[in-house]
Structure 1
Amino acid sequence: MAIESGLVKVRPLLIAGCQDHSMSAKKKIAFVAGKSPSAQGARDILCRIYPHVDPQEADVIVALGGDGFMLRALHRYLRLKKPVYGMNRGSVGFLMNEFRPDGLIERLEQAASIDLHPLRMEAFCNNGERHHALAFNEVSLFRETGQAAHIRVSIDGVVRLEEMVCDGVLVATTAGSTAYNMSAYGPILPLGTNVLALTAVSPYRPRRWRGAILPRQAAVEMEVLDAEKRPVGASADSTEIRNVLRVKVFEDRSLWSRLLYDPEHNLEERILREQFAH
């Protein structure tokens, strides 16, 4: 799983300091972990080795788990505006660095970073309610019953697809393009390309439409047609809304989360490799 960005800024040597564990007195570290025994055990090990504080007091947050936990951490600590450095204690670990207890301070010193800007979803429901949610991976619409969804798609106020018959449709960020978007045969987007992917899920009509690549500043609106007969839900990462009538999506440039990674664990290279994986 990958997580979402729009414009991605690469920053080398984000955290600077001395070359031993005394740096932790200057740069305060918080360790957070997923619920798995592997993640919890890793946190216990690191807490015994390095001084640590609560996330609210930290200069950097070290997240231990898989990509799903990293996604939750980015959401949970977004408002703190603290850089997050992940170490893999899950399965794929696309966004995570290798777990090694030793040398953490030096790795944080040498870490590069990218700024991830989330998508903002505004969903209007058939009961009159309006919901807001953020997504670092993607915002998706999906049919709720055996009936195919009928969806009208507009970009920046212009109708581009009058009626799409499909299982669903999604808007993915560049980093999120390797997640659900890739499973739906959407394009893998290199980081820093300043674009979003608009991808259909099992489209029936238009028969040969396979999605679009949009500029990151595009505003996407998806309107559910015949919603009573063909109900549709929407999701923004793990937030799900049922029985939507209309959904607006745009990249929120006012929000960002900074992801740290080891230089040898280059995210751009990993995304490039995914385009040639078989």
Structure 2
Amino acid sequence: MRYFYIQPQTIQGKKALITEPDAGHIRKVLRLKPDDSIGLLDGEGFEYLARIEEISNHGIHVLIENQFPCTTESPLSLTLAQGFLKESKMDDLVRQLTELGVNRWLPFMAERSISRPDEKQLTRRMERWRTISSQAIKQCHRGRFMDIERALSFQDMVLSAKNHDLALLFWEEETRPLREIQASFGAHPIASVFIVIGPEGGLTQEEVGHAKAAGFHIAGLGPRILKAETATLAACSLIQHLFGDLG
């Protein structure tokens, strides 16, 4: 069954309206017709089974036949703080992290960040990232959007990690493995994790020391030096496997 994003405010009782760009995709590409069944995702934790009633230039009018909570969200609340990478790499990560079940994505400026967009560029990028994430939830059948926040300084990013069960910074110069940190928690439940990954040039010793002083655990990802975007995906996959629903 085909799934589409529906804006929650367009749902009125059993009626709903699919707007652009999905409406155009339904009309011009898929060429669906009235009475065809489709699935809907509202990005707020619910999915719907619906039937097309009318196709018009204003949108796709549908009748909702069933509503139920989406069961594909991880039980783990996972935040990823990502040091700014080159533009195309950040775009790719938004899609991949949405698929991996990351709840909150927080880009930050590190000392060695090569990409440093200004406010106008950042606003444009955030709009594109939200579009990419909304497209990704349809592909992976997620119930909720990944929250994408405005860029912070390294210091403000560290402060935002408060109130998480586990705060982790992955650093290429660290030899302590993640499994050792996991073992130190014993049977203590981990429901929320905050991960930090640096930019292409890595984090400085001063930045790592600042995070450690703020309560972060510093971990490595093995003996090989990974590209920043590879490290991000590896770290999120490991955390979802250990504390979430991956594998």
Same fold (TM over 0.5): no
Q: Which structure: greater helix fraction?
A: 2
Q: TM-score range by the shorter chain?
A: under 0.3
Greater relative contact order: 1 or 2 (C-alpha under 8 angstroms, separation 6 or more)? Answer: 1
Structure 2 length as normaliser, TM-score?
0.27
Larger strand percent: 1
